[in-house]
Amino acid sequence: MIDSLRSRNVVAPVAILGLLFAACWLLAAQGNTYVVYLYGIGLVYATATLGLHLLVNDCGDISLAQGGQVALGAFVGAQLFPLVPGPLGPIVLVAGSILAGALAGAVVSLPMLKLRGLAVAVVTLLLNAAIFHFVLRFPDFVGGSGGLRLRPADWLPRSDADAVGWLTVLTIAVVLAVQTLRRSRFGLGLRAIRANEALARSAGVAVQWYRTAAYTVAGGTAGVAGAMWAILHHGVAPSAFTDASSLLLLTLALLGGRGSVAGPMAAAIGMGVLTGLLGGYGIVVSFAAPVALLFVLIKHPGGLNEQITMAAHGLRLLGAKLRRRHRDAGPPAEEAGAVVERAGSAAKGAGNGFTPDVPPPSADAPIALRCTDVDVTFGGLAAVSAVGIEVHVGEVLALVGPNGAGKTTLLNALSGHRRPDTGKIWLTGQEITHTPTHRRAALGLRRTFQVGGHMPAEPGFEHLRLGTHVQRSTSRGEVADRVARQLGLTQADLAAPVGGLAAGTARLVEIGMALAVPGQVLLLDEPTVGLTPDERRQLAGTLRALARDGLAIMLVDHDTAFIRWVAHRVVALDAGRIIAQGSPGAVFSDSVFVKAYLGSAEALV
């Protein structure tokens, strides 16, 4: 199934763009070269939009300089082209353009290493201004107001139809490159960043570098678009671009919407051809882009992709009706099977997944995770103060305490999401106090979140794939089978978008993500929220089994029954300090703890 998907991803763009090129060739043969030229412009827009699609729709960042980078690429390429004679010329043209665009993208996103996306988006606006108001006004660089001409003898297409052939090849190359990136670990990492940055970090994604890379890729595609512009026009003039072109390209990406590249490409090619045909109504055209943008963002945030999906769905339904296949009921039967299977696995979990009395690890078991003297303050509030805690290999440790006791803050300090003000943290003897979250994840420190720990639009399989992000050489099928077995998830659960699953199932997918690669330490923040009693029992059994195999587990939870099943040791926090620790039974009857929890000294049942 994966192979057929892959070939479809290559065949579909090649076939569609090839057919469009054939249509252009026919039009050119009839002498209608203007439309052919406009289609070429559309391809330039489409190529520049492809990189933005990855940046804007996948990663959720904004570049307001894409038009500037297209212009920069065009001029750099046109400057380099005459330096190299012969067939190498066009190659140097394209390569120079890509480099120029990508370099500008990389430089402008440098602040990303420290700052939120908003800051970088604003910096891209400044880059756009600097390019249009300074770089493109250097007479030597842009060849005066007449611009740079590429000599026609030098290995370049002569007619518009030939040029569109070249552009089609370049566009296909960019589509395939962008699609490969989007389907790779990199693309998945970008989508995870968009869904939840903290989640992406804890899955081992180097968030800052990924975003910088996304800006670089977007700049590179802008460079290709610049080269295409120069090839189509046999040169480039400064008047060809205005600083509004960046807004136009951004509009095209958002008009296309999240998901497939089809939406943005359709928007770009459509806009290229339409604005050309409406050339006489210049004012209508220039108002159209910003107004269209506002309309789409307010009324149809899904963009063209949503419309395309809906249309395709409608067509499929229509086709099914026409062929009278609706009585066949294939999919419902499959679903019913899934339900049966699920019920079976839950029953199994209730029956033997739970093993109450696994002895705690011996006292000389090595320490997996340790922290000393950790302080975390929010303004004047000491959320965690002077906490020292350790969890041994093979041990399940539960953190308990009333709301606001600092349990989640402590987990954040351990996983690296919140830097402690003082204190040190070691992972199996290695100090990790200043190690970034994603590297802690790669070292085997995995975690789940109390809320928002998944990507709602992605299926469970993609979550498990994100879970294996730190290990390149993991077989996806194997991981899915193992995790599904451990947690009692069905293949149907893993195939559906997690946002549509029951809360408990989604929670299990999140835990599965943290279990996707063998780790050293697992931190779980309220894993039982949304789980049924059966699922809780099965989870307890699974966690105990994982601990027996050498995993150290630290979890935060409020379900005392669950903690009694699962935990070897309990540490109670109140107001950021440890107030009691010991076996579950001892802590839950400890008068200090019970008072902190309930306000009176009546023991928990």
Partner 1 sequence: MSTLILSGAIAGLVYGLVACAIVFVYRASRTVNLAQGDIGMVAAFVFLSLSVRGDLPVALGVAAALACGGLVGWLMNRLVISPLGERDQGTGLVVTLALASILQLAALQIWGGSAYHFPPWFGDWAGVTIAGLTLRGPEVLALGVSLLFVLGGSVLYQRSRLGLRLRAVSESRQAAATLGVHVKRISGYAWLLGGVMSAAAALLIAPLTRFDPHFMFAVMTSALVAALLAGFKSFPVAMGAAVLIGVLRNVVGFQFSTAGVDEVLLLAFAIAVLLVKPPAALRTVT
Residues that bind partner 1 (CB under 8 A): 56, 60-62, 64, 107-108, 110-111, 113-119, 121-123, 125-127, 129-130, 133-135, 137, 197, 207-208, 244, 247, 250-251, 254, 283, 286-287, 289-291, 293-294, 297-298, 301, 418-419, 436
Any bridge partners for residue 389, and if so which?
Answer: 371
**What is the C-alpha separation between 187 and 53, in angstroms, rounded?**
11
Least Cβ distance, residue 128 to partner 1 (angstroms): 9
Q: Which is nearer to partner 1, 371 or 572 (CB)?
A: 371
- Provide the token pair at 505: 């199932």
Q: Which is nearer to partner 1, 212 or 581 (CB)?
A: 212
Q: Which is nearer to partner 1, 211 or 454 (CB)?
A: 211
Least Cβ distance, residue 298 to partner 1 (angstroms): 5
Any bridge partners for residue 374, and if so which?
Answer: 387
Least Cβ distance, residue 299 to partner 1 (angstroms): 9
Measuring CA to CA, how many Å separate 122 from each of 219, 243, 255?
Answer: 16, 15, 21
How far is C-alpha 356 from the geometric centre of its chain's CA atoms?
Answer: 39
Q: Which is nearer to partner 1, 247 or 358 (CB)?
A: 247
How big is the chain by its Cα radius of gyration, in Å?
29
- Provide the token pair at 574: 């109140």
Q: Which is nearer to partner 1, 12 or 107 (CB)?
A: 107
- Asked if 513 and 203 touch (Cβ cutoff 8 Å), the reply is yes
- Asked if 215 and 109 touch (Cβ cutoff 8 Å), the reply is yes
Q: Comparing C-alpha atoms, which of 15, 9, 503, 44 is closest to residue 236? A: 44
- Strand, coil or helix: 333: helix
Measuring CA to CA, how many Å separate 200 from each of 87, 196, 290, 483?
Answer: 45, 6, 33, 19
Q: Which is nearer to partner 1, 29 or 119 (CB)?
A: 119
Least Cβ distance, residue 202 to partner 1 (angstroms): 13
Q: Which is nearer to partner 1, 415 or 486 (CB)?
A: 415
For the chain, the first-to-last Cα distance in angstroms comes to: 52
Q: Which is nearer to partner 1, 143 or 584 (CB)?
A: 143
**What is the C-alpha separation between 543 and 354, in angstroms, rounded?**
10
Q: Which is nearer to partner 1, 207 or 399 (CB)?
A: 207
- Strand, coil or helix: 577: strand
Measuring CA to CA, how many Å separate 583 from each of 23, 219, 360, 571, 573?
Answer: 76, 57, 10, 9, 15
Least Cβ distance, residue 66 to partner 1 (angstroms): 12
Least Cβ distance, residue 207 to partner 1 (angstroms): 8
- Provide the token pair at 323: 């062929």
Least Cβ distance, residue 125 to partner 1 (angstroms): 7
- Asked if 77 and 310 touch (Cβ cutoff 8 Å), the reply is no
Least Cβ distance, residue 454 to partner 1 (angstroms): 18
Which residues contact residue 202 at a Cβ distance below 8 angstroms, ignoring those fewer than 6 apart?
415, 417, 437, 438, 441, 446, 447, 449, 514
Q: Which is nearer to partner 1, 137 or 183 (CB)?
A: 137
Least Cβ distance, residue 36 to partner 1 (angstroms): 30
Residue 242 one-letter amino acid? T
Least Cβ distance, residue 115 to partner 1 (angstroms): 5
